[in-house]
Amino acid sequence: MTYIKIACVADNSDKAGSSLELLKQKYEFIDDVAQADAIVALGGDGFMLHTLHEYMKADKPIYGMNCGTVGFLMNEFREDNLIESINAAKRYNLHPLRMVAVDKNGKEHHALAINEVSLLRQTRQAANLKISIDGKMRMQDLTCDGILLATPAGSTAYNLSAHGPIIPINAEVLALTPISPFRPRRWRGALLNHKALVKIEVHNPKKRPVSAVADFTEVRDVVSVTIKEERKKNIHILFDPGHSLEERIIREQFTD
C-alpha cells in the first residue's frame, strides 16, 4: 500500500509543537484524519499510546517520530523524506487486551489496553488475589502490591520495571507478572498463550481494596477482573527498516 494522504498530530510539548511547524513548512498534511492513509504522531511514548487509543477505530497506521525521551514506540525524528520514510516503513499489526472489571457494586467496566492491564492495591494493605486461567484455578492466594498482564508491545514498559520478561513482538504469548509479591515469595509470574482467558478475583475487597487499570482507564474497588486478547481490534504501527520493533526488543534485553 502507498500512503499519500498524511495527517499529523503532536503533543503539547514545545519540542513537538516546533517540530510540527517545521514539518508543515515542507509537507501538506490533511486535517481530516478519517480521510488520511496514515497518521504521523509527534511526541513521546505516552503520546503515542494516547494516539493509538484515540484512532484505534479509524483503523489507520501510525508512524511515530520521537520528540520525547525514550521513544521506544517511535522512529527517530527527521524532517527530510518523510513521505518516503512512511512508505518504506514496516507495518506491525497488534491486538489489544480487553479488560472487564466488576466493581463492588456489581457494575461491569470495559476497557482496552495496548500495553498492560494492572491490578494495584489501593491502601496500605497488600492485595490478596486468586488467579484462574481458562477456567482453571492456578493460584488460590497471591499476596502482593498487585499483578499485571502485558502484551509483547507492553512487555518493555511497566512489566519490565516489575521484573517481568521481555517478549519478542511476534511471540504469541502474554506475560503475567506479580508486583512486589509477598507470598508466595518465589513466584515470578508466568508466560501464557495469547488466547488465554485470565480471571483475577480479589479476596476480602472491603479490607484490601484493589483498583484495575487498562493503560489509561482506572476502575476503583474491583472484585474481579477478566482479561483476554481482543482479536477483532487491530492496531497498526509503522517502523523504519533497520530500526524495527523486533530489533528494539532484542536490543533492550542486552542493555544494562
Would you give the distance in Å from CA 31 to the centre of its chain?
A: 27
- Whole domain around residue 213: which residue ranges? 97-229
> For position 19, what pLDDT does the model report?
96
Split into its structural domains, the chain has a count of 2
Is 45 one of the catalytic residues? yes
Which of 45, 59, 134, 256 does the annotation list as catalytic? 45
In a shared domain, residues 123 and 223: yes
> For position 191, what pLDDT does the model report?
97
Separation in Å, CA 133 to CA 81, 97, 141, 171, 218: 48, 15, 14, 19, 23
CATH number of the domain residue 35 falls in: 3.40.50.10330
- Comparing CA positions, the residue from 133, 98, 104 lying closest to residue 224 is 104
> For position 256, what pLDDT does the model report?
62
In a shared domain, residues 102 and 217: yes
What's the whole-model pTM score? 0.90
DSSP classification of residue 74: -
Domain-located, residue 1 = no
In a shared domain, residues 176 and 105: yes
> What is the residue-level pLDDT of the chain in tens, covering all 256 positions?
788 899 999 999 999 999 999 999 999 999 998 899 999 999 999 999 999 999 998 889 999 999 988 778 899 999 999 999 999 999 989 999 999 999 999 999 999 999 999 999 999 999 999 999 999 999 999 999 999 999 998 998 999 999 999 998 888 999 999 999 999 988 999 999 999 999 999 999 999 999 999 999 999 999 999 999 999 999 999 999 877 777 777 777 776 6
Domain-located, residue 239 = yes
> For position 140, what pLDDT does the model report?
97
